[in-house]
Amino acid sequence: MENQSGHVIVVTYPAQGHINPLLQFAKRLVSKGIKATLATTHYTVKTIQATTVGVEPISDGFDESGFTHAPSVQVYLESFKTVGSKTLAELIMKFSDLGSPVSCIVYDALLPWVLDVAKNFGICRAVLLTNSASVCSLYWQIHQGNLSLTVKQETLPLMLPGLPPLGYSDIPSFLAQPENHSAYLAVILEKFGCLSENDWVFCNSFQELESELVMALQGIWPLVMVGPLVPSAYLDQQIEGDTAYGASMWNPSSDNCLRWLNTRPPRTSCDMVQSTRGSSSPSCGLLHYTWWMELDTRGVEPRCPNGGSTAVE
C-alpha cells in the first residue's frame, strides 16, 4: 500500500445492485496500484467482504436498522443527505490526519450530494452511473424537456436518438410507474442537472454495446465507459481471486436453488433479476414471456397475471 499513488473513496448507495458494481470498480482501482476505500452505511458495512479494498462506514441516520425502518423513501434520502454529508466529511478529514489524504471521490449516482462534499474539499470527483447508457439517455431526455415524465401508451413507441423504437416493456420501471418512485426520480433528475460539474462520468457499460449512443453522450458529459463491472473471473482474469462480487445483503441459498432446479425438466427455467427498489410484480415482469410460451407451445389461453404467481418461483 505504501507504493500506491492516490487514494480514492468510492461512496455507494446501500443497495446490493449499487454496492456490488461500485465495489468491483474499487477492486479495479486497487489492481492498478491506487488505494481505494469503499464508504457505505453502518448497516450494510457488515455485508461486505473485500480483502484488497478498505471499507469504512458513514451514517444515513438509521445505523441500527437501515432503510427498512425509515418512515418513507423521502425521509430516508433526506436523512442520508444531511447525516451522510457530515460523516463523509469527517471520514475525509480522518484520512488526512492519518497521512492518507483523499485525492478523488467516486460516488453513486443516487447520492448527488457527495458532489458538494467533494467541492468543499477541493477534491476531484466522478459520478458512477450503474445504469446502461441507454437508460441514462432516457433520463437525460426528460431532464432536457424532450420527453414527458409520464410515458403514455398512445405516445409509443418512443423514438429517441441513438436508440431503437422503445415499447412500454422497454422502459425502466421508474418511468413506466413514476408515481411509485417519485422520491428516487427526483434524485435521479437532480443528478442529471449537474453531471457536467464532475471531472468524469463513469458508466457501467462498454463502447461496443452502445457505440452510437455513447459517442453522442460523450459530446455532452466527460463520459468514460468502465463496464461491465463484474468479477474479473468472468472477464479478463487480471485480478487474482476475484471470483465473486463480495457483498450480499441476504444469506446465499445456492444449495436450495440447485436442488429446486434439479427437480425441473431440462430447459424449462428462466432466471429473472429485479431491482432492489423496484416494485413491479414478478409475474407481470414475465408476462410477455409467459404468454409466448403458452400460446406457441401449448396452444392454451394465457393465465398470467391472475394465475401467474403459481408459475413464477
Flag whether 184 is in a domain: yes
Q: Number of structural domains, the chain?
A: 2
pLDDT score for 125: 98
Residue with cell 433526506: 78
List Cα–Cα distances, 233 to 24, 33, 228, 245, in angstroms. Answer: 12, 19, 12, 10
76 and 129 share a domain?
yes
Assess whether 42 carries a catalytic annotation: no
Q: Residues 9-15: what's their mean pLDDT?
A: 97
220 and 165 share a domain?
yes
CA–CA separation, 58 and 44 (whole Å): 10
Name the domain boundary from 196, 218, 234: 234
pLDDT in tens, 223-274: 999 999 988 877 787 887 766 665 555 566 667 777 888 888 887 877 665 5
CA–CA separation, 238 and 31 (whole Å): 8
User: Is the model's pLDDT at 55 over the cut of 50?
Assistant: yes
209 and 270 share a domain?
no
Q: Which helix (H) or strand (E) holds 107?
A: strand 104-108
Assess whether 18 carries a catalytic annotation: yes
126 and 57 share a domain?
yes
274 and 149 share a domain?
no
Flag whether 245 is in a domain: no
Whole-prediction pTM value?
0.80
pLDDT score for 4: 56
Flag whether 252 is in a domain: no
Of the candidates 175, 186, 169, 170, the one whose C-alpha atom is nearest the C-alpha of residue 148 is: 175
195 and 291 share a domain?
no
Flag whether 174 is in a domain: yes
Catalytic residue among 18, 60, 181, 242: 18
Flag whether 258 is in a domain: no
Flag whether 255 is in a domain: no
Flag whether 66 is in a domain: yes
User: Is the model's pLDDT at 313 over the cut of 80?
Assistant: no
In this structure, the chain runs to a length of 313
162 and 53 share a domain?
yes
Flag whether 246 is in a domain: no
145 and 293 share a domain?
no
230 and 132 share a domain?
yes
21 and 63 share a domain?
yes
Q: What is the CATH number of the domain that holds 94?
A: 3.40.50.2000
User: Is the model's pLDDT at 205 over the cut of 50?
Assistant: yes
Of the candidates 51, 71, 47, the one whose C-alpha atom is nearest the C-alpha of residue 1 is: 51
185 and 267 share a domain?
no
Residues 4/88, Cβ–Cβ less than 8 Å:
no
198 and 64 share a domain?
yes
Domain containing 53: what range? 7-234
